[in-house]
Amino acid sequence: MPENRFDLVIIGAGAAGLASAIYGVRAGLKTVVLEGRGVGGQAGEAAEIENYPGFPRINGMELVMKFREHAEEYTRILEGKDVVSIEPVERIEGVHFRARDSDDGKYLVGAVLLSTGAKHRRLGVKGEAELSGKGVSYCATCDGFFFKDKKVFLIGGGNTALMDAVYLKEIGVDVTIVHRRNEFRGAKVYQKKVREMGIPVIWDSVVKEIKGERLLESILLKNVRTGEITEHQASGVFAAIGVVPNNKLALELGCEIDKHGFVKTDRKQRTNIPYVYAAGDVTGGLQQIVVATGEGAVAAMTAFEDLIHPYWAE
């Protein structure tokens, strides 16, 4: 298969990747976006987004599709293209890496932008893996419809957990929040909504086990203060306890990561590897769509600057 040559390859078509594509091409870089799963990333899973400027209230996938339409005015987004390797290249002017995708497509590129995002953190309890997709879910907007009029437990206490609980309640799911602490970490506006909607909360508790034969039937909760274990009948469990960065490619490239696995970057989204940049959820920090788009824009412009005149060559 012939090798395609690009100035910038963007790996991941979430908010950061799509924004960087727009900025990269407008700066004059020949750019391609490779996405292994589907466009949108975690942003596309949000039921309602109320803090993205210009859109007081919008569905996550609707916003992502607007990003996609805009990006496709400038460049191609190749879906189903998992990047399986990125290797340094020497002695080809303007080319620093060779990337290969899951279809054995090969790309000679000057710069690499990692916008690989993050995946949902698992609970890590007995029965979770066996009942995943059979009552255990990590995406309320994807699966909530199937639990209308049924009893479910939403695990977590951050913004995502509270927003998911509100969404489930709105579509007619009988939802109870389980949180390991005695107060939420999420924004006050979401806490207020939870209270106003009368969503019950089980405080100071964690999931001990998920039980069921073919489908989820009940969960065991442990009170972290008293040690008491109680069993609760349920049709579903939604886990919203944070994310784990998709850092496999970053590690293979030799990028520095922090103790939580997020890719370290400077203020201009450079990693420690020349011509490799990172943006969005894979870098940690404030994991919000508006932050991801900003980081994507900065990363693309930094790549443009470095390809013209590398700052480390001074």
The model's pLDDT over 215-261, given as tens digits with 9 standing for 90+, comes to: 999 999 999 999 999 999 999 999 999 889 999 999 999 999 999 99
Q: Where are the alpha helices (DSSP H) in the chain?
A: 15-26, 60-71, 140-143, 159-170, 188-196, 248-253, 289-308
Read off the pLDDT of each residue in 136-165 and give the average, rounded to a whole number: 93
For the stretch 54-72, pLDDT in tens is 998 898 889 999 999 999 9
Query: pLDDT value at position 49?
Result: 84
CA distance 147 to 130: 19
Please measure the distance between the N-terminal and C-terminal CA atoms of the chain and give it in whole angstroms.
38
pLDDT band at 287 (very low <50, low <70, confident <90, very high): confident
pLDDT band at 313 (very low <50, low <70, confident <90, very high): low
Domain ranges of the chain: 3-119+243-313, 122-239
> CB under 8 Å to 98, separation ≥6 — which residues?
3, 86, 87, 89, 106, 107, 108, 109
- For 233-252, b where at least 16 C-beta lie within 10 A, e where not — what string? ebbbbbbbbebebbbebbee
Pairing type for strands 216-223 and 229-233 reads: antiparallel
Return the CATH fold of 122-239: FAD/NAD(P)-binding domain (3.50.50)
Read off the pLDDT of each residue in 267-292 and give the average, rounded to a whole number: 94
DSSP E strand stretches across 213-285: 216-223, 229-233, 236-239, 243-245, 276-278
pLDDT at residue 2 above 80?
no
Superfamily name with CATH number, domain 3-119+243-313: FAD/NAD(P)-binding domain (3.50.50.60)
- For 285-295, b where at least 16 C-beta lie within 10 A, e where not — what string? eebbbebbbbb
- Neighbouring-strand partners of residue 143: none
